[in-house]
Amino acid sequence: MIAIFVAITNFDFWDRVGNLFANGRFTTLAPFLAIWGLAMVALLSASFQPRLVTRLLWAVPLALSSGAAWVYFQASHADLSVFDILSLWASRNSVGEAAGFYDRLIWPALAIMALGVTSLSIPPGVTGAWLSRWIGRMVWLPLLPILIIAAVVYAKDGGGSSGLPKQFAPLALSAMAAERILTQGAPERRAVTWNATAQVRPRNIIMMIDESVRADFVDLSPRNSYTPNIAALADRFVDFGPAVSGGDCSIYSNAILRLTASRRDLANSVNTNPTIWQYAKKAGYRTVYIDAQSTAKAVVLLGSTNFMTAREKRDIDKTYFMDDVQMDRADFRLIDILRGELAGSQPVFIYANKNGAHFPYDWSYPASEAVYGPTVTSAGKDTVVTRLASYRNAVRWSVDQFMKKLFESADLSKTAMIYTSDHGQAIKIGQATHCTIYDPDPRVGLVPLMAYTADPALKARFAAGAAANRDKASHFQIVPTVLELMGYSPADIASEYDESLFAATSRPPQFTSGDIFGLFSDSMHWNSIDLSLDYLEPDAKRLLPDVASARAEGP
Query: Quick one: pLDDT band at residue 272, thresholds 50, 70, 90?
Result: very high
Q: What is the pTM of this model?
A: 0.79
Instruction: List the alpha helices (DSSP H) in 138-183.
Output: 143-155, 169-183
Q: Span 107-120, mean pLDDT?
A: 92
Q: Residue 277: count other Cβ atoms within 10 Å of its Cβ.
A: 23
Quick check: 555 pLDDT over 70?
A: no
CB 371 within 8 A of CB 342: no
CA dist., res. 162 & res. 73, Å (int): 12
Quick check: 305 pLDDT over 90?
A: no
CB 459 within 8 A of CB 450: no
Q: Residue 316: count other Cβ atoms within 10 Å of its Cβ.
A: 19
Quick check: 551 pLDDT over 60?
A: no
Quick check: 484 pLDDT over 60?
A: yes
* CA distances, 151 to each of 144, 404, 525 (Å): 11, 54, 21
CA dist., res. 525 & res. 213, Å (int): 22
- To which H or E segment does residue 349 belong? strand 348-353
Q: What is the largest CA-CA distance in the chain?
A: 90
Quick check: 456 pLDDT over 50?
A: yes
What is the torsional sign of CA 330, 335, 341, 344?
Answer: negative
- With a CB cutoff of 8 Å and minimum separation 6, the contacts of 15 are 163
Kindly report the backbone phi and psi dihedral angles of residue 188, in degrees, each rounded to the nearest multiple of 5, phi listed first.
Answer: -70, 130
* CA distances, 131 to each of 55, 138, 221 (Å): 16, 11, 77
What is the pLDDT, as a whole number, of residue 552?
40
Q: pLDDT (tens digit, 9 = 90+) per residue, 346-371?
A: 999 999 999 999 888 999 999 999 99
What is the pLDDT, as a whole number, of residue 443?
96
Q: Span 85-109, mean pLDDT?
A: 71
Three-class SS state of 290 = strand
Q: Span 59-86, mean pLDDT?
A: 81
Q: How many contiguous H segments (helices) and E segments (strands) does the chain have? A: 24, 11
Give the type of residue at 540.
Answer: A
SS3 of 420-484: the string is EECCCCCCCCCCCCCCCCCCCCHHHHEECEEEECCCHHHHHHHHHHHHHCCCCCEHHHHHHHHHH
What is the pLDDT, as a whole number, of residue 302?
45
Pairing type for strands 526-528 and 510-512 reads: antiparallel
What's the chain's average pLDDT? Answer: 88
What is the pLDDT, as a whole number, of residue 486?
97
Quick check: 288 pLDDT over 90?
A: yes
- With a CB cutoff of 8 Å and minimum separation 6, the contacts of 215 are 241, 242, 243, 421, 424, 446, 447, 448, 449
Kindly report the backbone phi and psi dihedral angles of residue 474, in degrees, each rounded to the nearest multiple of 5, phi listed first.
Answer: -145, 155
Q: What superfamily does domain 204-542 belong to in CATH?
A: Alkaline Phosphatase, subunit A (3.40.720.10)
CA dist., res. 40 & res. 171, Å (int): 15
Q: Span 114-131, mean pLDDT?
A: 81
Q: Exposed, middle or buried by CB within 10 Å (0-12, 13-18, 19+), for 475?
A: buried
What is the pLDDT, as a whole number, of residue 544?
77
Quick check: 184 pLDDT over 80?
A: no
Quick check: 448 pLDDT over 70?
A: yes
What is the pLDDT, as a whole number, of residue 106?
85
Domain extent listing, the chain? 2-183, 204-542
Q: Span 157-172, mean pLDDT?
A: 84
What is the pLDDT, as a whole number, of residue 198?
79
Q: pLDDT (tens digit, 9 = 90+) per residue, 200-255?
A: 899 999 999 999 999 999 999 998 989 999 999 999 999 999 999 999 988 899 99
Which residues lie across from 452 on neighbouring strands? 237, 417
Quick check: 413 pLDDT over 50?
A: yes
CB 395 within 8 A of CB 217: yes
Higher per-residue confidence, 343 vs 15? 343
Q: Span 439-466, mean pLDDT?
A: 96
Q: Could you give the angle at which helices 26-47 and 13-22 cross, rounded to 10 degrees?
A: 160
Q: Exposed, middle or buried by CB within 10 Å (0-12, 13-18, 19+), for 221?
A: exposed
Q: Span 510-515, mean pLDDT?
A: 90
CA dist., res. 259 & res. 307, Å (int): 10
What is the pLDDT, as a whole number, of residue 248?
92
Query: Quick one: pLDDT band at residue 421, thresholds 50, 70, 90?
Result: very high
